[in-house]
Amino acid sequence: MKNYNIAIIKGDGIGPEIIDEAIKVLDAVASVENVSFAYEEALMGGCAYDITGDPLPQETIRISMKSDAVLFGAIGGEKWDDLPREKRPESGLLRFRKELGVFANLRPAVVYDELVNASSLKPEIVKGVDLMVVRELIGGIYFGEPKGREGDKAYNTMVYTRPEIERIAHVAFKIAMERSKRICSVDKANVLDVSQLWREVVEEIATEYPEVELTHMYVDNAAMQLIRDPKQFDVILTGNIFGDILSDEASMLSGSIGLLPSASVGSKIGVYEPIHGSAPDIAGQGISNPIATISSASMMLRYALNENAAADRIDAAIQRTLAEGYRTKDLANYDAKEICSTSEMGSIIANYTVK
């Protein structure tokens, strides 16, 4: 039996609720696959600040670095919005990503047939959408120097180096090789020098993957094309700020942000988390959708642990659950046969995982 150590960061708001359901499903899949999981909890976000005065305690980094993967919920909330920037939950998350070296954020956007009417777009536009946004995560304008404020002037700097672009490009091309072998690299090379370098380096890396078709698109056009014809995309490769925006746009193709997972991977330990926030307005009500977090656990099995059979079980269980009409409140208006609480949805998926 393979034994894995998983760092658990539940975070704030609905984080503890959705992580508990993902653990429930992981334990279910462990009962039928030849794996076992040992969990160790760590603090990050507002809850960490309240206890330690730091949104990212050093102990959390230590626990994460000695684990095989990190399963993470969500952080933040209005309670901590007035803190100094370095004490806010989001600052802890940025530091966490940098410490772990997770330079590639993988965000799949899949439209389930059972929920094709949940999207704000026409069914014929979104039916069959299955794309992956590969976003560079620890470079670009969020981390570039210099940055700051001088009176009425404020500035940030977008910086990318050749090695940073090369490593994220390799991740995207390897993923494309396992999919439909198509990449669209998104930049703003008609305006930005940094995007011109991005495009040059991506084209160089493409020569190492001759089976993959590479195209380029400016980010403003890509934003429009995601709405006009999302099925034209398979893998979207882009930088940090562009990927931040485009991946959230792509998430709404599915109809609910509560459905979509993400993986942040790099040279050290991967972090697996839903793309949504902590939703403090619904925390504790048992109405949050745990599917994004459960799907993130599936991505953890696939990308961090190479347990593809276990990941397939979870993905199939989610598909069956939706096909049979089980919905949480956010999806209640879309062919729902039964409205489930957060815990009930997790239990149904866990049950189907072992069947």
Q: Name the residue range of residue 344's domain.
A: 1-110+260-355
Q: Which of 219, 254, 289 is the last residue of a domain?
A: 254
For the stretch 316-354, pLDDT in tens is 999 999 999 999 999 999 999 999 999 999 999 999 999
Q: Is residue 294 part of a domain?
A: yes
Whether residues 170 and 152 share a domain: the answer is yes
Assess whether 142 carries a catalytic annotation: yes
- How confident is the model over 40-51, as a mean pLDDT? 98
Q: Which of 223, 254, 285 is the last residue of a domain?
A: 254
43 vs 108: CA distance, rounded Å: 27
List the catalytic residue out of 68, 79, 130, 142: 142
Assess whether 248 carries a catalytic annotation: yes
Map tokens 């149904």 to a residue. Answer: 348
The predicted structure's pLDDT at residue 345 = 98
Q: Which of 254, 287, 317 is the last residue of a domain?
A: 254
| Number of structural domains the chain divides into | 2
330 vs 259: CA distance, rounded Å: 10
202-207 CB contacts, 8 Å cutoff, 24+ apart: 202/165, 202/169, 202/237, 205/166, 205/169, 205/170, 205/173, 206/169, 206/173
Whether residues 249 and 289 share a domain: the answer is no
Q: Please give the single-letter amino acid code of residue 75.
A: I
Whether residues 249 and 124 share a domain: the answer is yes
Q: Is residue 115 part of a domain?
A: no
List the catalytic residue out of 20, 27, 130, 248: 248
The whole model's pTM is what?
0.91
List the catalytic residue out of 113, 220, 229, 281: 220
Assess whether 220 carries a catalytic annotation: yes
List the catalytic residue out of 188, 209, 326, 329: 188
Whether residues 40 and 70 share a domain: the answer is yes
Whether residues 247 and 265 share a domain: the answer is no
Tell me the CATH number at 145. 3.40.718.10
Assess whether 244 carries a catalytic annotation: yes
For the stretch 166-177, pLDDT in tens is 999 999 999 999
Whether residues 213 and 135 share a domain: the answer is yes
Whether residues 178 and 213 share a domain: the answer is yes
List the catalytic residue out of 12, 54, 187, 244: 244
